[in-house]
Chains A and B, each alone.
Chain A
């Protein structure tokens, strides 16, 4: 079992819809949680960074962490075609990041 599991998708939504992305993790030592966006042929770009359980909002993006169920989510409101990318969740413990497999998202105009 991978330490961080993520549905690979692809997830296809119409423009303006809410994109809902999820990850589960198994390692209780994970303390920090990140979401990265990666466009094709580019390096990952840090979107959100959270520590505690609960919600964190940044513009159209909301990250949610539930440490009791080891579940992390990312919601993208009013999705745009420019949001089409691969989204990677990651968890930090022991001085290193562990990544999920990534979910490919396609927002159709």
Chain B
């Protein structure tokens, strides 16, 4: 199984600012994903991070709000842009090595004031 780390683990941000979350995998993975989890809720897929090309976004999520980079097979970033209190959530990164088993990072707990 892959070990996934995220930075920062938590942050408190002001309305209108942006935050970039980093995701590092300890081995090469075929696919990387970004999810959002509201407190007490399940996971909602934001996008699939594609290496060397634009991310694939799910319905309701757009690149201008959640730009994603994936420069190689072990690293990805998610930026939450122009934040509002509604963006307060846990953001999770996951990776899959092609067997459909996905492993998750510990999450980034974001609070927007």
Contact = CB atoms under 8 A, between A and B. Distances in A.
Range of interface residues on chain B?
A: 20 to 34
A61 interface: no
Interface residues of A, number: 20
Contacts of A98: 45
Contacts of A96: 33, 45, 48, 58
Nearest to B43: A99
B48 A44 contact: no
Interface in B57-113: 58, 92, 100-107, 109
Chain A contact surface mostly? strand
A21 interface: no
Contact of B48 (A32, A95, A101): A95
B106 A43 contact: yes
B42 A42 contact: no
Contacts of A102: 41-42
A44 B45 CA distance: 14
Contacts of B48: 95-96
Contact of B100 (A32, A36, A44): A32
B103 A46 contact: yes
Nearest to B30: A95
A32 B102 CA distance: 11
A75 interface: no
Given A34-B101, A45-B104, A99 B33 contact: no
A92 B101 CA distance: 9
Contacts of B102: 34, 46, 97
Most chain B C-beta atoms within 10 Å of own C-beta, residue among A43, A96, A99: A43
List 9 tightest A-B contacts by C-beta distance, closest first: A43-B104, A101-B42, A43-B106, A99-B42, A32-B100, A99-B43, A44-B104, A92-B100, A43-B107
Interface of A: 32, 34, 36, 41-46, 49, 88, 92, 95-102
Interface of B: 1, 4, 31, 33, 41-43, 45, 48, 58, 92, 100-107, 109
